[in-house]
């Protein structure tokens, strides 16, 4: 309506003051911006409330982990420790094989991750770039296992690891855990995006399938490998149901099983339980904060298709 | 079209012309290459197929066999046909666990979807510290189920838990989170939502970012209110995300184990017992392993149905888009 002048807005504003429509326009703009401002404030308040609710359980875990026993059992409402103490950490380190459990979790997670990621990268490449008979059918079969919960297989898996003579050892946890399909799915999706021309060119240069995989494909798969490693580490570090069945000796427990054991021994000593819980979630939280982009992409992608 | 074909034919004859004698050897060479390619493929697939075959498909078939056997402790003796399944039909705890699973799923899935979408819209709008808020909502996704459930135990403890302390502080009565079925059920639902809302938000955020802002501009020009824009633009346009999440959330809720096992172990009574915890209880607490295997097969069949729906949906989405 008003021709735009390169001179500036002030000039235009001055000229339109005696325009009839102007006050209404200005009024509407002001009203909209007031409404926008109030909606902005409302959104911010809502976001803060949601953030507080999401953080509160973690805050409470940390608070109790550093509180003296009397606070934990008090019927008073204290949102802050009466004094900061390491008493609970002394309890779990002196009374329980906490360091061993932590080490067991690390060892099992590292082995499962190396095994799973290697095997899934190989299989993902075969499904994405190689031609062989029965490819579609095998892929469908592999995919169909993605959603099977451990409770379907646990009885037979328990007998299997017993028959194999590995029941109660780390291997009883490691092998069934490494037999997972979600990584194959991610690997295939990613590798399909690698242009065939690269592979053809390498073939012309005389490279074999293995050399192409190691020297052409893998260097292009760094983001994929990062996602696979992080997600596998997270799943394995947190895994509970199967290690609960496969392990029997408390010296070989992983942290989640150790947590349950501690609770069985200490009942309602929530301070000690929260100290161990805090210890068990810290490595994953650090990884998550450092590599949030990969975690979120991986979780969304392993979902989106 | 025809020009294209002719030019391709032309190029083929051109290529063929100087090498008529090599045709035969080239073909056999190609066959050998393909043979080698197949061998290489199975080499790449091999480790994975061995792992999946031995630790997934074998136990799956074995579980089916065990479910047709009579159990005594950890060993199985003799075939009993469908007896374990007949027992399921007449087992009130099995039915209560099934109903609990269904109710839990029917409550948590719509709530996860609604909260996920609401938060995604909020976190997609102009907001200071948006990244920080998103991180806070994602965080519960990566925390172990046991640690989360123990936090739940602590928050909802009837006498010393902070939730009841807050309720009492506000002049209300504390709720019987451990001693009464409905309250226990609610506490599990709340913890599940806390875990699950981040995943729903991630998927919805991706869906929202695919919507063209011009659509909202046009709606604003037409005078649509924020609610109308949400109801008639956002909700239909994130439909594919909703469908995907619906299935994933159903499978998650249907299989939730850690939270219930640690927080209530199915109690008080049987009020929070679900299929997966009931299967575990039979397999490794009361040691009725064949019966546990039968429950496992039921869980497997239900899972299969939802996985199949998910695939069909994906395929139709692929052809549509």
* pLDDT tens track for A221-243: 999 999 999 999 999 999 999 99
- The sign one gets for the Cα dihedral A251, A255, A260, A263 is positive
pLDDT number for residue B20: 39
Percentage of chain A lying above the pLDDT 90 cut: 50
Residue B23: pLDDT band (50, 70, 90) is very low
Residue B267: pLDDT band (50, 70, 90) is confident
- CA-CA distance, A187 to A228, in Å (whole number)? 8
pLDDT number for residue A32: 62
What's the mean pLDDT in A99-114? 96
**Mean of all residue pLDDT scores within chain A:** 84
Q: How does pLDDT run across B90-138, given as a tens digit for each residue?
A: 999 999 999 999 999 999 999 999 999 999 999 998 888 888 999 999 9
Q: What is the 3-state secondary structure (H, E, C) of chain B?
A: CHHHHHHHHHHHHHHHCCCCCCHHHHHHHHHHHHHHHHHHHHHHHHHHHHHHHHHHHHHHHHHHHHHCEEEECCEEEEECCCHHHHHHHCCHHHHHHHHHHHHHHHHHHHHHHHHHHHHHHHHHCCCCCHHHHHHHHHHHHHCCHHHHHHHHHHHHCCCCCHHHHHHHHCCCCCCCCCCCHHHHHHHHHHHHHHHHHHHHHHHHHHHHHCCCHHHHHHHHHCCCCHHHHHHHHHHHHCHHHHHHHHHHHHHHHHCCCHHHHHHCCCCCCCCCCCHHHHHHHHHHCCCCHHHHHHHHHHHHHHHHHHHHHHHHHHHHHHHHC
**Strand, coil or helix: what is A16?**
coil
Q: How far is A232 from chain B (nearest CA, A)?
A: 11
Residue of chain B whose Cα is closest to the Cα of A158: B59
pTM: 0.84
pLDDT number for residue A10: 36
Q: Are A232 and A113 in contact (CB under 8 A)?
A: yes
pLDDT number for residue A167: 94
**Strand, coil or helix: what is A1?**
coil
| Paired residues of B69 in beta bridges | B79
Contacts of A197 (CB under 8 A, 6+ apart): none
Choice between A228 and B313, residue whose per-residue pLDDT is larger? A228
Least confident of A34-38, A129-133, A263-267: A34-38
pLDDT number for residue A25: 55
CA A173 to chain centre: 20
Q: How does pLDDT run across A40-63, given as a tens digit for each residue?
A: 888 899 999 999 999 999 999 999
ipTM above 0.85, yes or no: no
pLDDT number for residue B248: 87
- CA-CA distance, A120 to A180, in Å (whole number)? 9
The answer to whether residue B168 scores a pLDDT higher than 80 is yes
Instruction: Supply the Cα-derived Rg of chain A in whole angstroms.
Output: 29
Q: Are A85 and A68 in contact (CB under 8 A)?
A: yes
Q: Are A99 and A93 in contact (CB under 8 A)?
A: yes
- CA-CA distance, B292 to B68, in Å (whole number)? 11
Residue of chain A whose Cα is closest to the Cα of B143: A281
Q: Which of A133, A234, A274 is the closest to B38 by Cβ?
A: A133
The answer to whether residue A263 scores a pLDDT higher than 80 is yes
Domain ranges of chain A: 7-54, 96-301
- CA-CA distance, A47 to A279, in Å (whole number)? 28
Residues in chain B within 8 Å Cβ distance of A213:
44
The answer to whether residue B200 scores a pLDDT higher than 60 is yes
What's the mean pLDDT in B211-224? 89
What's the mean pLDDT in A105-127? 95
Residues in chain B within 8 Å Cβ distance of A305:
314
Q: How far is B23 from chain A (nearest CA, A)?
A: 19
Residue B28: pLDDT band (50, 70, 90) is low
The answer to whether residue A125 scores a pLDDT higher than 70 is yes
Q: Are B191 and B152 in contact (CB under 8 A)?
A: yes
Least confident of A19-23, A296-300, B159-163: A19-23
Contacts of B138 (CB under 8 A, 6+ apart): A288, A292, A295, A296, B198, B201, B202
What's the mean pLDDT in A135-163? 89
* CATH level 2 (architecture), domain A96-301: Orthogonal Bundle (1.10)
Q: Which of B144, B164, B169, B199 to mutate to test the interface with A (most CBs of A within 10 A)?
A: B144
CA B275 → CA A12, B93, B96, B193, B294, distances in Å? 72, 10, 9, 19, 11
What's the mean pLDDT in B24-49? 71
Percentage of chain B lying above the pLDDT 70 cut: 84
Residues in chain B within 8 Å Cβ distance of A288:
138-139, 142
What's the mean pLDDT in B218-232? 89
The answer to whether residue A302 scores a pLDDT higher than 90 is no
CA A94 to chain centre: 31
CB–CB of A152 and B60 under 8 A?
A: yes
CA A197 → CA A211, A217, B33, distances in Å? 16, 12, 18
Q: Which of A92, A140, A142, A152 to mutate to test the interface with B (most CBs of B within 10 A)?
A: A152
């Amino acid at each position: 309506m008003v021709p735009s002048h390169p001179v500036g807005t002030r000039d235009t504003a001055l000229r339109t003051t005696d325009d009839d429509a102007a006050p209404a326009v200005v009024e509407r703009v002001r009203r909209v911006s007031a409404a926008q401002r109030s909606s902005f404030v409302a959104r911010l308040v809502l976001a803060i409330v949601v953030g507080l609710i999401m953080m509160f359980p973690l805050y409470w875990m940390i608070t109790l982990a550093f509180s003296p026993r009397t606070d934990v059992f008090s019927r008073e409402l204290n949102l802050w420790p009466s004094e900061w103490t390491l008493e609970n950490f002394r309890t779990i380190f002196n009374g329980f094989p906490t360091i061993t459990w932590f080490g067991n979790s690390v060892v099992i997670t590292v082995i499962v991750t190396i095994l799973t990621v290697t095997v899934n990268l190989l299989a993902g490449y075969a499904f994405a770039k190689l031609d062989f008979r029965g490819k579609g059918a095998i892929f469908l079969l592999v995919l169909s296992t993605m959603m099977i919960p451990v409770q379907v297989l646990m009885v037979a898996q328990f007998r299997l690891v017993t028959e194999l003579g590995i029941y109660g050892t780390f291997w009883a946890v490691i092998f069934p855990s490494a037999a997972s399909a979600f990584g194959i799915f991610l690997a295939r999706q990613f590798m399909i995006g690698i242009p065939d021309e690269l592979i053809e060119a390498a073939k012309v240069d005389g490279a074999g399938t293995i050399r192409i995989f190691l020297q052409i494909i893998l260097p292009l798969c760094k983001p994929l490998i990062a996602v696979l490693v992080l997600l596998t580490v997270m799943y394995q570090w947190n895994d509970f149901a199967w290690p609960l069945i496969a392990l029997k000796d408390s010296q070989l427990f992983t942290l989640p099983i150790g947590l349950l054991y501690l609770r069985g021994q200490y009942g309602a000593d929530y301070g000690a339980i929260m100290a161990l819980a805090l210890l068990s979630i810290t490595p994953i939280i650090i990884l998550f904060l450092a590599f949030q982009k990969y975690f979120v992409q991986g979780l969304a992608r392993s979902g989106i298709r | 079209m025809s020009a294209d074909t002719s030019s391709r034919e032309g190029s083929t004859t051109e290529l063929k012309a100087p090498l008529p004698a090599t045709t035969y050897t080239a073909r056999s060479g190609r066959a050998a290459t393909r043979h080698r390619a197949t061998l290489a493929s199975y080499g790449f697939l091999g480790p994975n197929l061995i792992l999946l075959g031995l630790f997934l498909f074998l136990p799956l078939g074995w579980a089916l066999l065990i479910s047709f056997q009579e159990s005594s402790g950890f060993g199985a003796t003799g075939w009993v046909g469908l007896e374990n399944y007949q027992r399921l039909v007449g087992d009130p705890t099995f039915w209560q666990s099934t109903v609990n699973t269904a109710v839990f799923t029917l409550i948590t899935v719509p709530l996860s979807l609604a909260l996920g979408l609401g938060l995604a819209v909020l976190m997609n709008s102009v907001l200071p510290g948006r990244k920080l808020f998103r991180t806070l909502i994602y965080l519960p996704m990566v925390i172990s189920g046991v640690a989360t459930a123990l936090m739940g135990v602590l928050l909802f403890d009837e006498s010393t838990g902070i939730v009841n302390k807050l309720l009492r502080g506000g002049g209300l009565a504390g709720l019987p989170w451990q001693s009464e079925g409905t309250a226990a059920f609610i506490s599990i639902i709340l913890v599940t939502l806390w875990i699950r809302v981040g995943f729903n938000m991630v998927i919805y955020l991706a869906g929202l970012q695919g919507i063209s802002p011009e659509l909202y501009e046009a709606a604003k020009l037409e005078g649509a209110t924020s609610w109308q824009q949400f109801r008639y633009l956002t909700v239909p346009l994130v439909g594919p995300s909703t469908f995907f999440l619906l299935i994933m959330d159903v499978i998650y809720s249907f299989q939730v184990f850690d939270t219930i096992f640690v927080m209530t172990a199915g109690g008080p009574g049987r009020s929070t017992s679900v299929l997966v915890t009931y299967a575990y209880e039979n397999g490794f607490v009361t040691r009725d392993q064949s019966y546990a295997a039968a429950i496992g097969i039921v869980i497997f069949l239900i899972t299969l149905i939802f996985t199949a729906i998910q695939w069909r949906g994906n395929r139709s989405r692929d052809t549509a888009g």
